Structure formats: structure tokens, C-alpha cells
Amino acid sequence: MKKRVLIIIGLVAILLCGCSSRYANIKVTDHTYLLGTLVKITIYGRDVSDEEFQEIFKIISDIEDKVSKNIPDSEISMINNSKSDEVKISSDTYNIIEKGLYYSTLSQGKFDITIAPLVDLWGIGSENAHVPNNEEIMEALNRINYNRINLIKKNQSIGIVEDTKIDLGGIAKGYVADKVSSYLKDNNMGHAVINLGGNILTVGKKPNGDSWKIGIQNPLDNRGKELGIVTIGEKSVVTSGIYERYLEEDGVKYHHILNPFTGYPIENDLVSVTIISDHSVDGDGLSTVAFSQGLKEGYSFVEDIDNVEAIFITKYNEVYLTTGAKDIFELRNYKFKIKELE
């Protein structure tokens, strides 16, 4: 059930300082469950009606209905089950697939939106979760290849090789957050924080012009425990990590970030990667790409991208910051140490 709250800002995780407007101290929050996670929208500086929140949530649910492979009549399910050479799709579905293919190509397949057969096989996060055998993994890997997708812009349609299946779970939330941000700006709700299960996108700045302070999750502790904060303006903060969804079998933990080349969870020294970017869809894609690349390659990869910063956290309680991240990150948990990449 969702709960609407209108409160005066006190000591909260995201701080809002006073300003001259009589609405400066108003913070309105509403939340619901969509996209397989808790969705929380917080708007500052003015009251927001239940009807306005329902419009915001409708944007999210409409896109989910199109692109979730777990909804039987979604467009993605239609694509995955189609025997046709070409399937007509909506602009939202087209745009998300197009962005997914961009990051699939950029990462040379380390991020691959055709990973659905492998995700379904492992079932991590579902009641069917299990460790598959090598034969099952090889069969799934043979069906993963983003080059089997052909987007046809003229017809706003897609062609896909039979038995190839799409999973947009690694990028859809970012697209949704950006879409909600545009709606808020267009409807006089230009000071806000969008939280899609930990994917954060700020809208504008605080009503008084100050920056936002966003907590970075301690990946080695319970949810809600911070290791530090970033001070940002209008930015996206997206984290990929191994700490929330995993399967434990025979004393071994298998996390949910799967390697499209080996068929097993990615193995490196990282426990999380946080991307700070202008657009949430880019943070979504880049966080998975950088995590899959590992510390050194992922660090260099992000350093070469304009207006994107990253926070890499290792299993050894080490924090590595890209050049721009050093200016906006503050460590708050001194069990961790900020290190320089050698």
C-alpha cells in the first residue's frame, strides 16, 4: 500500500534548508510498489494532490506494462514470444531498447539486453532460484547476442532472431526516472527527488538553490546504512552492487549480476559501483558496465566519459573515486578508506 505524507522538513537524509517562500519547508512524499521495487517520489516547495501523484505513478506503470518481461501481455513478452520477422512497438519500448543496444555495443557485450535466458535460468530473486548445471548454462549462453536484434526506425519496430529474448531490467528504471523528471518539470514540480528502489534522480536544486546531499549505501551493511554522501545539483545517482539480490546454496552466495560470457555471476573485487551522471538511463547502463569491467578497466572507462563520475567500493573496504567524484564525495564511515588507483 502506498502512503502519502505531508511534513515539515526536520532532520532527514536529504536536507532542505529554508528560504523566503512560505512553501520552502513543505515536503510531500508518496510511494508505491512498481518496477519490482519501492518507488518513492518526494516533491519540495509546494503541496501536491493525490491526483497529481497518481499521474506520476501512471507514467511509471504504463512503461512497466510495456517493457517488463514478467508481464505476459507486455511488448517485451510479445517480442520474446514472437515468430514474426518484425514487431511494431511503442516509442518508449523502442527508445529503451535503442539505449540498451548502445550500452551493449559500448561494453562489447559485457552489458547485453539479450541476457534474459540466463537471468531466467538462475532465477535469482524468485522462488525458482537455483544454481544451474553447465549444460543448462551453455544452452542459455548460445542464445545471448545483442547483434541478433535489429531496430527499424522507419517503422518503429524490431526484428529479433528466434529464441533470442530481451531483458531490459538493467536499464529501464533509468529511462523511467528521466521520463518522470521531465513530467515534474513540465508541471511546476521542479524541486524533487525520484527514488526508484535506490536509483536516485534529483530534479532541479532545492527551492533555496542549495545542492542535495544523497547518501551512498554501505554495500557491506544493512540497507539504509551509509558509508558517505555526495553533494550534487540536478544529477542521477545509480548503484550496481552484489549485496541485495543473491542466491545462497551449499554455503556459497551467488549474486544477480551475471556474466554474459561465462554464464555465472561476475567475479572481481568489487561489491558496488555508483555512477553520478546527468541522465538516469546512462547511470543505469554505466553502473552495470563498470561493475562488469572490474576496478581498473571500469575506472578508466568512466574517466574517459564527460560529465560522468563513479565511486568504486571493493570487498576490502576500499573506496576509489574518479577525478570529479573526489570533489563531491564525503566519507562518513571510517571502516572504509579512500584509495588511489595505482
User: What does the pLDDT profile of the chain (342 residues) look like in tens digits?
Assistant: 444 444 333 323 333 333 444 556 789 999 999 999 999 999 999 999 999 999 999 999 999 999 999 999 999 999 999 887 899 999 999 999 999 999 999 999 999 999 999 999 999 988 889 999 999 999 999 999 999 999 999 999 999 999 999 999 999 999 999 999 999 999 999 999 999 998 999 999 999 899 999 999 998 887 778 999 999 999 999 999 887 777 888 888 888 899 999 999 999 999 999 999 999 999 999 999 999 999 999 999 999 999 999 999 999 999 999 999 999 999 999 999 999 998
Amino acid 282: pLDDT:
97
Instruction: Write phi, then psi, for 180 (nearest 5 degrees).
Output: -65, -40
Instruction: Write phi, then psi, for 203 (nearest 5 degrees).
Output: -115, 120
Amino acid 253: pLDDT:
84
Amino acid 190: pLDDT:
94
Amino acid 100: pLDDT:
97
Select the CATH number that applies to the domain covering 5-57+190-339 from these four: 3.10.520.10, 3.40.50.970, 3.20.20.10, 2.60.40.420. Answer: 3.10.520.10
Amino acid 85: pLDDT:
82
| SS percent in the chain: helix, strand, coil, step 5 | 30, 25, 45
Which amino acid would we find at residue 105? T
Amino acid 242: pLDDT:
87
Helix (H, G, I), strand (E, B) or coil at 155: coil
- If you search the block for the grid coordinates 511546476, which residue do you land on? 188
- If you search the block for the grid coordinates 560470457, which residue do you land on? 261
For the chain, what is the radius of gyration of the CA atoms? 20
pTM of the model: 0.91
Amino acid 189: pLDDT:
96
- If you search the block for the grid coordinates 555471476, which residue do you land on? 265
H-run or E-run covering 214: strand 212-217
Amino acid 252: pLDDT:
84
Instruction: Write phi, then psi, for 271 (nearest 5 degrees).
Output: -110, -25
Is the domain defined by 68-160 classed in CATH 1.10.3980.10?
yes
Amino acid 6: pLDDT:
41
Sequence spans of domains, the chain: 5-57+190-339, 68-160
Amino acid 23: pLDDT:
56
- Nearest-10 crossing angle of helices 172-186, 280-293: 160
